[in-house]
Structure 1
Amino acid sequence: MKVLVTDEISKNGLLPILDDPRITVDFKVGLPKEELHQVIGDYQAIITRSMTQVDEALLEHATNLKMIARAGVGIDNVDVDAASSRGIIVVNAPYGNVNSAAEHTMAILLSYCRNVTLANASLKSGQWQRAPFTGHELKEKTIGVIGLGKVGGRVALRCRAFEANVITYDPYISEKRAEDFGVKLVSLEDVIRFSDIITVHTPLNDETRDLITAEHFEGMQDGVFIVNCARGGIINEEAMLAALESGKCGGAAFDVWSQEPPKSDTLKKLIAHPKMLVTPHLGANTYEAQKNVAVDVSKEIVNYVDGRPISNAVNVPRFDPDLMEQMKPYMKLVSIIGDFISQLAPPNPNKITFTYNGKLARFDCAPLSVCGLAALLNHVTDQEINMVNAGMVAREMGVAVEEVRSTETDSFSNLITLTLEGPQGKRTIAGTLFEGIPKIVKMRNFDIDFKPEEHMLVMTYADVPGALGKIGTILGNAEVNIGSMSLGRTEKAGKAIVVFSIDSPVEEETIEQLKAAIGADFIRPVHIKQ
């Protein structure tokens, strides 16, 4: 795999890919747009920070690109929709710099409260003044944290350590999670109304852009202090400047800007304002954070090369990180089921249903469904299908995809069933894990039990004496060795299904001999990627 690095990235953090002989890494930092467009077609992965714009124009030239890795949390510089339509995985590093960002929030908050920058400049100029730099304590202040995510949660905990009263607004968390941080979950209006200090920690999107406007500033306490170490544009910068100039806001500390580097008159005035403490987007700029985010995206590229699940893909449904290790075996199981049934079922399904029974059904199973769908569709279209574009391709094909979950189950603690419905009827396959090993336990209406292997042979026929002997003889004459066999039948002397694991593929001529010898009404070789 060839990987292109286009921004300054910690080389120590890139060791997982630099040390992998399967991966070639080229460093071409600061390439002009035209040159980048010329070379990008040679690469399967690109690693960026915030300077490279991975937009539609670039992706049109990226004919071999499989992964875009953003070494940081934000993905503002990546056109995720354009990447998804091409089946390109977009990953970021959502945890590598969270501690750095939280600490920088506290650094500029405390620096402002204690007039550190002003006092430092005064003393260095030869003056000895103390009274002008009298500051404020955080103790017993009410601090409003907007967004109690990875960074906001850490900021809330640190503020509580200073004995501040912390309230939070976040429409996507439960009261229980707020209680876990020791903070009170309130409305945005209450954060605006009661806070002495407000700090924002949300992503920038259509919902959060201009989250704090002039109207909100009017409802704040006089002398309120504002902190933004998240993303420029969450706080309307014209409204921020007006609040500082009117005296409504006592001060602010910003690390991020809606335009970076800042060029507009509004931003220049805001940065120059005496009540502003400013830094040039340093939230993630620690040696530890830069190494961590590089390590995180490097590991994702190695996961892709190894065919393992991607943990931090922003355009792929994924489990909570705490569940990922637990769910990986089920992702393998559902991929095998999808791969298996796609080689047996009639073409042109109208509907695909994923059913989850048992303890598994307590969790969001969307990542499993997408994983199984990708494995299934890879056999029915020439387009390369993965978890990024599987749902999109299914919709374009007019295939309905449904998910059913139930904690009730008869024989297994967990069971995944995949059903295909189409013009030629319905096909069903079900599997489970036995001591961590994928097993197929049902096909159509036959109970069966086998471990999927690389080469298999599936057939259905009338269950009559001598049929298995004839099968064994024909395969033996063709020098096809049988590893194992699993037989299922509905009743004595009725219909039977048999699945053989075999050491090598079966030639078409041998299949025709088997069909004639036992009167098989269905016979199909299956190949499962190992």
Structure 2
Amino acid sequence: MKVLITDEISQEGLQPLLDDSRMELDIKLGLSVQELHGIIGGYEAIITRSGTNVDAALLEHARGLKIIARAGVGIDNVDVEAASNKGIIVVNAPFGNVNSAAEHTLALLLSLCRKVTIANASLKKGEWKRSPFTGCELKGKTIGIIGIGKVGGRVALRVKAFEAEVIACDPYVSEKRAEDLGVRLVSLEDILRYSDIISVHTPLTEETHDMIRSEHFARMKDGVIIVNCARGGIYNEAATLEALESEKVAGAAFDVWSIEPPNTEVLSRLIGHPRMVVTPHLGANTVEAQRNVAVDVSREIINYLDGRPMESAVNIPRFDPDLMEHMKPFMALVSKIGEFISQLAPPNPSKVIFTYNGKLARYDCAPITVCGLAALLGRHTEQEVNMVNARLVAKNMGIVIEEVRTTESESFSNLITVTLETPEGKRSLAGTLFEGIPKIVKMRDFLTDFTPEGHMLVINYEDKPGLIGKIGTLLGEAGINIGSLNLGRRAKAGEAMVVLSLDTPAAPETIEKLAASVEARFIRAVHMH
């Protein structure tokens, strides 16, 4: 396999390729766009960092390219859609820097607790002061970690060595994973209420953007310490500044920012705050991390050549065309089921069961399973989850995947059911296709009939006269139009499940009013991609 390397890559990290006799490596740095276009057709793989723009124009010249390897986390310089359309696999190295990021978290936290940065500056000015720099220990503190994936898990293990108590919140990690780390899984509310120190380690998604806002700071202990070495924007930065200025937060240590380089007044004030320890996104900046990302992408190229699963593929490889054409409608259906149930089910699943009923069960349903699994896990992990790596991601989370097929079906010619087993019990969602359109026909044991749409609201309550009217009135007062409404119930005046599609999303305060008005047992906004 001919491999082109266009950016500075750790030579030590390329050793797996150098040791493989099937590989022919060409290192060509500083190529112009025209030069790159002229030679790319002779290569099957390309390894880049951020200095090479792998765009659609380049891919038009890449006649034999099979794999694009980005030696780092970000893939902003790769046109993934154009690569996917040409059947070219794109891989990155999302975990090569996990240890580096975990250690940097500890470095910032300890620097903050022991006031290293300001004591260092004082002594360098020729001062000899000690009392202003009295710090605090980690021993005996309760440390709350939000997200115990690859980085958060390592942080948990390391702070436990300081004899701290560690509690964690992560809705898509099994209890076994938490037990293996020796931490106790709790709710986000308990993290806020009981933690002396809070560190976030989640990806930046729709759910985690501004996840910690003013109302969350209000529920924290006075004098709490907060850390962010994950992604800028998880803590609302204006609210963070306000909490520092009010001394609700005793100190903060941040490596990441919502805008990089930071260029707003809020960020300037936050970075300049005397109780902030800050660095310019250095979490991955170690010699070891740079070597690791090169090793990771080198191994992925070898995995591709050997036909083995790849953990870090960020797009979908091609399946057999005949099989794909038959599966496409069902893959769309299971993706919607997976995305929908991921927002409703209780946290920490230990098992996910995909059940296929009817004619569909005659076929190999593995592509459908991994597609649904990718949709299910995609909102809750630090990495891109797709059909290539979904099973590996689930395995790393401690989640068991089971597939059940039966040609028997009572009501539908084809039915797909996704069931999650969690510490709070089982939750299931079933769907089918009506003239090619995905429909959800069962939620738990409630019969339903609706098409998942962009903004939805699910409410479970005791059915009483007038409640549907109250829901409509409150949404109307909030300026929200109802696109459709589906009511499922077990019996007259019994427990009911209402699913509404909305033209615009409902604000948290509107949802709180709805919950109080109908005495909801469960209410959740669902946002579909």
TM-score normalised over the length of structure 2: 0.57
SS of alignment partner, residue 9 of structure 1: coil
Change (3 A) 1:261 1:296: same
- Return the TM-score normalized by structure 1: 0.57
Q: 1:369 aligns with which of 362, 366, 369?
A: 366
Please identify, of 268-277 and 192-201, the stretch whose mean Cα deviation from structure 2 is larger: 268-277
Q: Deviations over 1:338-378 (max 9, x none)?
A: 79xx8xxxx99856999xxxxxx9999999934999xxxxx
SS at match of 1:252: strand
Matched residue, 1:267: 267
- Indicate conservation of the 8 Å contact 1:143/1:165, yes or no: yes
Structural mapping, 1:211-360, within 5 Å:
211-316=211-316, 350=326
d(CA) in 1 for partners of 2:278, 2:41? 40
Contact 1:84–1:388 (8 Å) recurs in 2: no
Report the residue type matching 2:297 in the other structure: V
Task: State the SS of the aligned residue for 1:205.
Answer: coil
Partner residue in 2 for 1:9: 9
Residue 179 of structure 2 aligns to which amino acid in structure 1? Answer: E
Give the deviation of 1:198 after TM superposition: 0.8
Q: Structure 1, residues 75-123: CA drift from partner, whole Å, max 9, x if none?
A: 5665545543442322222432222211111111011100111111211
- Residues 108-119 of structure 1: matches in 2 within 5 Å? 108-119=108-119
* SS of 2:221 mapped into structure 1: coil
Deviation at 1:199, TM superposition (A): 0.5
Structure 1 residues 177 and 311, CA, compared in 2 at 3 Å: closer, same or farther? closer
CA distance in structure 1 between the partners assigned to 2:172 and 2:387 by the alignment: 26
Amino acid at match of 1:178: A
Measured at CA, do residues 156 and 388 of structure 1 come closer, stay the same or move farther in structure 2, by a change above 3 Å? closer
1:245 shift after superposition: 2.6
Residues 72-151 of structure 1: pairs in structure 2 closer than 5 A: 72-75=72-75, 78=78, 80-151=80-151
CA 1:304/1:174 → structure 2, altered by over 3 Å: closer, same or farther?
A: closer
* Aligned pairs, number: 353
Question: Residue 246 of structure 1: CA displacement?
Answer: 2.8
State the 1:44 CA deviation: 4.0
Q: Which moved more, 1:276-285 or 1:128-137?
A: 276-285
Q: Distance in 2 between matches of 1:367 and 1:297?
A: 30
Gaps of 5+ in 2: 332-350, 356-362, 371-384, 389-400, 407-529
Checking the alignment, whether the CA contact within 8 Å between 1:6 and 1:46 is kept in structure 2 is yes
Whole-angstrom CA distance in 1 between matches of 2:369 and 2:164: 49
What is the CA–CA distance in structure 2 between the aligned matches of 1:244 and 1:67, rounded to whole Å? 47
1:204 equivalent in structure 2: 204
**CA spacing shift, 1:193–1:35, aligned 2, 3 Å:** farther
Q: Which amino acid aligns with 1:194?
A: Y
What's the CA shift for 1:8?
3.9
Secondary structure, aligned partner of 2:296 = helix
3-state DSSP of counterpart to 1:69: strand
- Structure 1 residues 405 and 370, CA gap change in structure 2 (3 angstroms): closer
Which deviations, in whole Å up to 9, do the C-alpha atoms of 1:5-45 show, x marking residues without a partner?
Answer: 45543121112334556545455667788987787666543
Deviations 1:440-483 (A, max 9, x none): xxxxxxxxxxxxxxxxxxxxxxxxxxxxxxxxxxxxxxxxxxxx
CA distance in 2, matches of 1:367, 1:151: 36
* d(CA) in 2 for partners of 1:32, 1:118: 46
3-state DSSP of counterpart to 2:9: coil
Aligned with 1:162: secondary structure? coil
Identity %: 65
- Provide the C-alpha distance between the structure 1 equivalents of 2:189 and 2:364, rounded to a whole number of angstroms: 36
Deviation at 1:316? 4.7
Cα distance 1:74–1:15, how it changes in 2: closer, same or farther (>3 A)? same
Q: Which has the larger radius of gyration?
A: 1
Q: 1:163 aligned to 2:170? A: no
Query: What is the CA–CA distance in structure 1 between the aligned matches of 2:206 and 2:48, rounded to whole Å?
Result: 23
Q: What's the offset of the Cα at 1:286?
A: 1.9
Q: Which moved more, 1:86-95 or 1:113-122?
A: 86-95
Q: Find the aligned partners of 2:119 and 2:25 in 1 and give their Cα distance.
A: 47
**Unaligned stretches of 5+ in structure 1?**
318-334, 355-360, 374-386, 391-402, 409-530
- Classify the secondary structure of the residue corresponding to 1:225: strand
Q: Partner letter of residue 301 of structure 1?
A: I
Q: 1:192 to 1:372 in 2, by over 3 A?
A: closer
Please state how far the C-alpha of 1:254 moved relative to its aligned partner.
Answer: 1.1
Q: Residue 192 of structure 2 corresponds to which residue in structure 1?
A: 192
Distance change (3 Å), C-alpha of 1:404 and 1:110: closer
